[in-house]
Amino acid sequence: MNIKHEKQKEFRPGRGYTKEDWDAVDSPPLTAEEMASMRPFREVFPEMAAKMEQAIAARGRPKLEAPKVAVTLRLDPDVLEKFKASGKDWRAKMAEELRKAAGL
């Protein structure tokens, strides 16, 4: 969904805020002095930045000790169809057969 946002120069009712809310907001452009005095978030709020980094790092799947490796493998069509016919987990079954053949 691509929503085009246009900068509002005057209050328009029916947009989820009141005229008082509109009038209370004052965001003039930053001066060169204000820009020069800015510091990175991590420097201003180090504890909060550290917590945010930990939360971001904790997302997703846990790291595996021995993750699987993606490979490209060309197989004969009949071999592939035989494994696919064995069901939804045909890849796991194929991996198990390869482990057996390798003596693992």
Q: Give the pLDDT of the chain (104 residues) as one tens digit per residue.
A: 556 666 777 888 888 889 988 888 877 888 999 999 999 999 999 999 999 999 988 888 888 888 889 999 999 999 999 999 999 999 999 999 999 999 99
Rounded CA Rg of the chain: 29
SS3 75: coil
pLDDT at site 97 = 93
Q: 40: which 2 tokens?
A: 């990175």
- The confidence score (pLDDT) of residue 4 equals 65
**What is the structure's pLDDT at 2?**
59
94/70 Cα distance (integer angstroms): 14
Q: What is the tens place of the pLDDT at every residue in 32-47?
A: 999 999 999 999 999 9
**C-alpha distance across the termini of the chain, in Å:** 50
Q: What is the pTM of this model?
A: 0.41
Q: What is residue 53's predicted lDDT score, i.e. its pLDDT? A: 92
Q: Which two tokens stand for residue 66?
A: 């021995």
